[in-house]
Amino acid sequence: QKITGVGLRYLKDADLEKIGIEYLGDRLQILHSLRKLWQIEAEPNKVFNDPIHGHVELHPLLIKIIDTPQFQRLRNLKQLGGAYFVFPGASHNRFEHSIG
């Protein structure tokens, strides 16, 4: 039995036990994580304006991932390496490429 999509919202402890998750602590942790994901769904999406693609709407979970220090660190990693010193206008970095 596969549980996907909207069915995850209505998942209960007994359902996880049927799947084969034996430990109560594991089941509670999974249920807690699923509840948090559905709360993120209720938050409004952020809209960014891209000169080529127009308005781009990002899911709140993506915003939370982008706001992490690990992801923001990519702003300092240059895509072109040393070519940045020769061509200062070439300001491509890993952050821009990771966003897409």
Confirm if 80 and 97 have CB atoms less than 8 A apart: no
Residue 54 dihedral angles phi and psi, to the nearest 5°: 80, -145
Length of the chain: 100
Instruction: Compute the mean pLDDT over every residue in the chain, rounded to the nearest whole number.
Output: 82
What would the pLDDT profile of 61-85 be if each residue is shown by its tens digit? Answer: 888 888 899 999 998 888 887 887 8
pTM: 0.53
pLDDT less than 50: residues of the chain: none
The pLDDT of residue 70 is 93
The token duo for 88 is 């200062």
